[in-house]
Amino acid sequence: MELLGKTNIDFIGKRNISFVVSSIIAMLGIVGIIQISRGAANMGIDFSGGTSMQLKFAKPIALADARTALHKHGIARVDLQEIKEGNKLLVKIDKNAGATVGKSADAVKTSFTSEFAGNPFVVESTTEIGPSIGDKLRKDTLVAVVISLLGIILYIAWRFDLKFGIGAIVATIHDCLAMFAVFYLFNKEVNLLFITAVLTIAGYSLTDTVVVFDRIRENLHKNLKGAMQTIFNKSINEVLSRTIVTSFTVFLAAASLFLFGGEVIHDFSFALLIGVLVGTYSSVFVASPIVVLLENRALAKHGDKA
């Protein structure tokens, strides 16, 4: 079976549109990262410090009631979220609201026990993170992201050349920013698992880029006649079906995680889904056009001298 026959789409020619779209996405991502680091977006407690609990009640519970109950017991700054399936409630408490590690969780338990006597609950999970750990994790994560990106740049620059390396890394950063942008827009929690997803995609999204680059290099070596743009377009079209199929199989796996993997990794698999989609887009519409731009510029310089 073949999904796509021979295609002849002018991908590079549409670079103006794709650059505008990608710039907007990237800007949103940057805004998201700034907001997150300012603490203005939804940052997970693993980075900010604080307490998060997952409770399972016997009967459905209204968010408003839960909030009132907590306020009554002096827990003011609290973030509540309902998980529809199984009367579950997620409680997130800012590090500044409770005193020390160990106290907030107890306070939440006490207030719910006394306010909802007729609706018993069990604590399914508790996570309490002191501020010092949060700081350490933030630093470690930053180092991890920088080292990963550096490693990738070096590898691609070594395997191809610098222009391809730049194209690949811009596409990779674009993918990461897009994930941040989506999470920021949907106000989803940015936590350690999200960063894990981002780094995974940073590595994986290169698969498609490498496939396209390999073909471009092969065709450049064949000394095909025609402009850079034609060779690039031809190459992308030649490998288009495998770009789509490889992403599709991973998309299938990520989608089953998203739909059936349970609430703990729901956001994580959502991030992976976004990443796979954006990664496919960027290998065609971001990485290759950038290399064309760089190649053309190099050619023009060469031409001036000649």
Partner 1 sequence: MPKGIGWRIGLIGIFILLSFLYLTPTLVSKLPSWWSGLLPKDKIHLGLDLQGGTYLVLEVDTQKAVEGTLDIVATDLEDTLTSKNLHFKRIGRTGSDRVTLVLYEKGTADTAQKLLKDKYPTYEQSPLHDEGGFVALDLLMNEKDVQDRKDKAVQQALETIRNRIDQFGVSEPVIQREGIDHIVVQLPGIKDPQRAIELIGRTARLEFKMVREDTQPSAATIPDDAEILKEKSVDPATGAVSEMPFVVQKKSLITGDLLTDAQVRIDSQFNQPYVAIEFNSLGAKLFDQVTAANVGKRFAIVLDNNVYSAPVIRERISGGSAQISGNFTEKTASDLAIVLRAGALPAPVKIIQNVTVGPSLGQDSINKGLMAGLIGVLLVVAFMTIYYKLSGIVANMGMVLNVIYLMGALAALGATLTLPGIAAIVLLIGMSVDSNVLIFERIREELKLGKSPKAALDAGYDKAFLTIVDSHITTLITAAVLFQFGTGPVKGFAVSLSLGVIINLFTSLIGTKVTFDLFLNKGTVKKLSI
108 scored as a contact of partner 1 (CB under 8 A): no
d(CA 65, CA 121): 15
d(CA 225, CA 222): 9
Kindly state the helix (H) or strand (E) to which residue 173 belongs, with its residue range: helix 162-185
Closer residue to partner 1 (CB): 14 or 217: 217
d(CA 54, CA 86): 12
Among 10, 65, 140, 161, binds partner 1 (CB under 8 A): 140
Q: What are phi and psi of 93, to 5 degrees?
A: -120, 130
Tokens of 236: 């992308």
| Nearest residue to 55 via CA among 71, 66, 42 | 66
Residues 297, 301, 304, 306, CA torsion sign: negative
Closer residue to partner 1 (CB): 57 or 251: 251
User: Per CB under 8 A, which region of 33-41, 64-72, 193-201, 290-298 contacts partner 1?
Assistant: 193-201
- 3 state DSSP class of 234: helix
242 scored as a contact of partner 1 (CB under 8 A): yes
99 scored as a contact of partner 1 (CB under 8 A): no
CB of 228 to partner 1, least distance (A): 21
User: Per CB under 8 A, which region of 19-27, 32-40, 210-218, 293-301 contacts partner 1?
Assistant: 210-218
d(CA 23, CA 290): 13
228 scored as a contact of partner 1 (CB under 8 A): no
User: Per CB under 8 A, which region of 25-33, 72-80, 208-216, 290-298 contacts partner 1?
Assistant: 208-216
Q: Radius of gyration of the chain from Cα atoms?
A: 24
d(CA 85, CA 263): 9
CB of 210 to partner 1, least distance (A): 5
Residues 94, 95, 97, 102, CA torsion sign: positive
- 3 state DSSP class of 119: coil
Residues 4-43 that bind partner 1 (CB under 8 A): none
Q: Give the angle 153-288-290 at the CA atoms, nearest 5°.
A: 75
Among 91, 97, 107, 129, binds partner 1 (CB under 8 A): 129
User: Per CB under 8 A, which region of 32-40, 219-227, 238-246, 290-298 contacts partner 1?
Assistant: 238-246
Among 155, 157, 230, 293, binds partner 1 (CB under 8 A): 155
| Nearest residue to 286 via CA among 224, 187, 213 | 213
* x-marked contacts with partner 1 along 56-95 as a string, rule CB under 8 A: x---------------------------------------
The residues binding partner 1 (CB under 8 A) are: 1-3, 54, 56, 100-102, 106, 122-130, 132-133, 140-141, 143-144, 147-148, 151-152, 155-156, 159, 192-193, 196, 199-200, 202-204, 206-207, 210-211, 214, 238-239, 241-242, 245-246, 248-257, 259-262, 264-265, 268-269, 272
